[in-house]
Amino acid sequence: MNAEELLQRQHTYFKSGATKSVEFRIHQLVTLKKLLKEHEQEFMEAVYADFKKPELETYATELGILHDEISYTIKKLRKWAKPQRVSGSLINFPSSNYIVKEPYGSVLIIAPWNYPVQLALLPLVGAIAAGNTAVIKPSEITPNTSSALSEVLGKWFKEEFVAVVEGGVAVNQDLLDQEFDYIFFTGSTRVGKIVMEAAAKNLTPVTLELGGKSPCIVDETTDLNTAAKRIVWGKFLNAGQTCVAPDYLLVQESVKPKMLQLLEEHIQKFYGKDPEKSPDYPRIVNKDHFDRLKGYLKDGEIFYGGEADKEECFIEPTVMTDISSDAKVMEEEIFGPILPVLGFNEISEAIEIINVKPKPLAFYIFTNDSNTEELVLEACSFGGGAVNDVVAHLGNHNLPFGGVGKSGMGAYHGKYSFDTFSHTKSIMKKPIWLDIPFRYAPYKGKLKWIKKLLK
């Protein structure tokens, strides 16, 4: 079945009204939770086959997050879906006013390769909760996971409700040529522009979850050991292939030598002195990404790491120093296990370094100085972030996750996912028994009264 036929079937199914009842949506979310549990090992093995991601990471950062999100959504969905009453206005007195959340229709979810299960299915939770049908396009870069998603979801869902379409760039383009009612894309800024251009042809609304160079500041007032431990965890999780990983580190010069030493110590504690033998350290997803990342190793001095094996797609956790501001590693999103470390003396220097770059998806600062914290958070624009931690802010349902500027538009997680995939429909209801003639022509002598009323 081609993309046009698939979308037509989904449109027909949506127009039947089958997806609109809250009971139906909850039942489908329960089904999604069941299939994740029953096929847990299958998904873990698929992800491992694609880039040797350890089972604990796959469960914690993909399957576990999905279970948590689905359970939370099921618990809250009836409340979210209720019409919301709002106040009326004097000019429309008497009236009752309310807001209804309705599904868009058929949505397209284009998922990336780095968290290939989570980032395909987490948006689906919101799409189902809002009452839409969905077509999921997983990444061809992780073919084993893509195949598993297609096979498993194909067994549990009718394709007119949820379908998985596999393939490469040509399939993506074919899907983007169709008139979906909403497009949700996670990936690079470069491809995000292509998606937005395609969506504009049909005036299709979009959410773009992109990336960027997410900075992390460490000042001299913080607990350096804890900061180093958390940064090493967040940076080298998934071998650095995380859109919200700290992309580069800005460390106050007075504590930079100590911080570098602690980074080395914690890398060795986590992965041993030979990370290639560690069962807890994944691989780079393919040789093209390996070559791109290896090229960055020439952009500065290697303080720690730097070993690489192309046949194994292995790059050691690497810390770099003495990097020029115009080096590629400081211009492009790294998306790998390479951590540039730069120094600063005054916090204003760090802010200046950050603000000359496009607005990042994530931002982190380690400090015990409340004035520094307030200054930096006010001065820097970013999608979301954390104080004294990294990455973990994604685990809160009550925080929207999304970018700003070149790091994306729109947000999801928790209720924000439901809102993203829902059209907000405003309704005013007026009684017929009272019809004040003031608004009707002729208007002579009414302007001064209108001005008083609207003031």
- Whether residues 121 and 24 share a domain: the answer is yes
- Whether residues 56 and 168 share a domain: the answer is yes
Q: Are 110 and 138 in contact (CB under 8 A)?
A: no
Is 264 part of the annotated catalytic residue set? Answer: no
- Whether residues 203 and 308 share a domain: the answer is no
Instruction: Look at the pTM and tell me if it is higher than 0.85.
Output: yes
Torsion angle defined by CA atoms of residues 195, 197, 201 and 205, in that order, rounded to the nearest 10 degrees: 60
Within a domain: 99: yes
Residue matched to tokens 């979810």: 109
Structural domain count of the chain: 2
pLDDT tens by residue, 56-104: 999 999 999 999 999 999 999 999 999 999 999 888 889 999 999 999 9
Amino acid 122: pLDDT: 98
Q: Percent of the chain, pLDDT > 70?
A: 100
- Whether residues 220 and 287 share a domain: the answer is yes
- Whether residues 156 and 70 share a domain: the answer is yes
Lowest mean pLDDT across 1-5, 197-201, 342-346:
1-5
Within a domain: 352: yes
Q: Are 320 and 300 in contact (CB under 8 A)?
A: yes
Nearby residues of 385 by Cβ (< 8 Å), 6 or more positions away:
214, 362, 363, 364, 365, 393
Task: Quickly list DSSP for 60-71.
Answer: IIIIHHHHHHHH
Within a domain: 367: yes
Strand, coil or helix: what is 101? Answer: strand
pLDDT of 455 strictly over 80: no
Distance CA 258, CA 143 (A): 42
Amino acid 452: pLDDT: 82
* Cβ count near 427 (within 10 Å): 11
Amino acid 437: pLDDT: 85
Q: Which residue has the higher pLDDT, 14 or 434?
A: 14
pLDDT tens by residue, 118-142: 999 999 999 999 999 999 999 999 9
Residue 284 identity: I
pLDDT tens by residue, 7-41: 999 999 999 999 999 999 999 999 999 999 999 99
- Whether residues 240 and 159 share a domain: the answer is no
Within a domain: 442: no
CATH number at 308 reads 3.40.309.10
Within a domain: 446: no
pLDDT tens by residue, 213-248: 999 999 999 999 999 999 999 999 999 999 999 999
Q: Are 322 and 301 in contact (CB under 8 A)?
A: yes
- Whether residues 383 and 246 share a domain: the answer is yes
- Whether residues 323 and 377 share a domain: the answer is yes
Q: How confident is the model at residue 436 (pLDDT cuts 50, 70, 90)?
A: confident
- Whether residues 204 and 301 share a domain: the answer is no
Rounded mean pLDDT of 200-213?
96
Listed residue (267, 336, 279, 280) closest to 114, CA to CA: 336
Amino acid 454: pLDDT: 78
Within a domain: 443: no
Amino acid 380: pLDDT: 98
- Whether residues 230 and 311 share a domain: the answer is yes
pLDDT of 325 strictly over 70: no
Q: What does pLDDT average to over the chain?
A: 96
Within a domain: 448: no
Amino acid 153: pLDDT: 98
pLDDT tens by residue, 358-390: 999 999 999 999 999 999 999 999 999 999 999
Q: How confident is the model at residue 326 (pLDDT cuts 50, 70, 90)?
A: confident
- Whether residues 201 and 233 share a domain: the answer is no
pLDDT of 297 strictly over 70: yes
Amino acid 394: pLDDT: 94
Torsion angle defined by CA atoms of residues 33, 39, 45 and 46, in that order, rounded to the nearest 10 degrees: -80
Distance CA 164, CA 159 (A): 8
Amino acid 373: pLDDT: 97
Dihedral sign from CA coordinates of 445, 450, 452, 453: positive
Strand partners, 98: 85, 427
Nearby residues of 223 by Cβ (< 8 Å), 6 or more positions away:
366, 368
Is 307 part of the annotated catalytic residue set? Answer: no
Q: Which member of 216, 243, 313, 380 is catalytic?
A: 243
pLDDT tens by residue, 242-288: 999 999 999 999 999 999 999 999 999 999 999 999 999 999 999 99
Amino acid 302: pLDDT: 97
Strand, coil or helix: what is 16? Answer: coil
- Whether residues 155 and 291 share a domain: the answer is no
The pairing of beta strand 408-409 with beta strand 314-315: unpaired
Q: Which member of 57, 62, 69, 209 is catalytic?
A: 209
CATH number at 192 reads 3.40.605.10
Distance CA 77, CA 23 (A): 10
Within a domain: 455: no
Q: What is the domain range of residue 14?
A: 3-210+404-427
Amino acid 25: pLDDT: 98
Distance CA 267, CA 247 (A): 16
